A = this chain, B = another copy of it.
Amino acid sequence: MACDTPLTERRLGKRGQTLIAAGESGPAWRVVEGIVRLDLPVPFGEEPGEEHFVGIAWGGDLIGAEALMFGRYGYTATAVTPVILEGWSSAAAKEPAALLYARFEHRMGEVLRLRAGKAPERIARLFELAQSAGAEPLRLRLRDIAAITGLRIETVSRTLKAMEVGG
């Protein structure tokens, strides 16, 4: 860790990389570029290996902030696109609470829109989001697209093929 910059420690993540693991401890990060998906480990004795998708973060969103409060990360964060993270400390946070809430509302609306409408619309919106989040290669894994849009991998595959022919 060449931590010679006094202010903002940065960290890169490749597509598919686990950025934060539920149960472990560490700092909070701000998602500067790219998209991150958040999953909860299965609550009860369900399929081990399965996870519950609980949200995405991008464009300045904070991830892992709960570790500052409770000591451990509450969920797993994985890079959906290549990402750039920036260390975040609560001391450095100057955003007023009302602004945080406003940002939340917007974020929740975006996430919900990814679960509304038919398969092609959902997937298209996800790609738009990825593009606006500054993800360069714009190549997403089907499993991520499926988890985020609430579709099946097979459906995503077929829809994607249909889309590139039509549009």
What residues of B have a CB within 8 angstroms of the CB of A105 in the complex? 38, 54-55, 65-66, 74-75
Task: From known contacts A54-B109, A62-B101, A105-B54, infer whether A96 and B69 are also in contact, taking CB-CB under 8 Å.
Answer: yes
Q: Which residue of B lies closest to A109 (CB)?
A: B54
Q: Give how many copies assemble into the complex.
A: 2
Task: Give the interface centre of A69, A74, A101 by most chain B CB atoms within 10 Å.
Answer: A101
Nearest-CB distance from A78 to chain B (Å)? 15
Please determine whether B98 and A53 come into contact, CB atoms closer than 8 angstroms.
Answer: no
Please determine whether A102 and B65 come into contact, CB atoms closer than 8 angstroms.
Answer: yes
Give the contacting residue for A95; candidates B53, B62, B97; CB below 8 A. Answer: B97
Task: From known contacts A69-B96, A97-B90, infer whether A112 and B109 are also in contact, taking CB-CB under 8 Å.
Answer: no
What residues of B have a CB within 8 angstroms of the CB of A100 in the complex? 97, 100-101, 104
**Docked CA distance A55–B112 (Å):** 8
Q: Which residue of B lies closest to A40 (CB)?
A: B109
Nearest-CB distance from A109 to chain B (Å)? 3
The verdict on A108 contacting chain B, using a C-beta distance below 8 Å, is yes
Chain A interfacial positions (CB closer than 8 Å to B): 28, 38, 40, 52-55, 62, 65-66, 68-70, 74-75, 90, 93, 95-102, 104-105, 107-109, 111-113, 115-116, 150
What are some 21 contacts across the A-B interface (CB < 8 A)? Answer: A38-B109, A53-B112, A53-B116, A55-B108, A55-B109, A65-B101, A66-B105, A68-B96, A69-B98, A69-B102, A74-B102, A74-B105, A90-B96, A97-B97, A97-B100, A100-B101, A104-B107, A107-B108, A108-B108, A111-B111, A111-B112
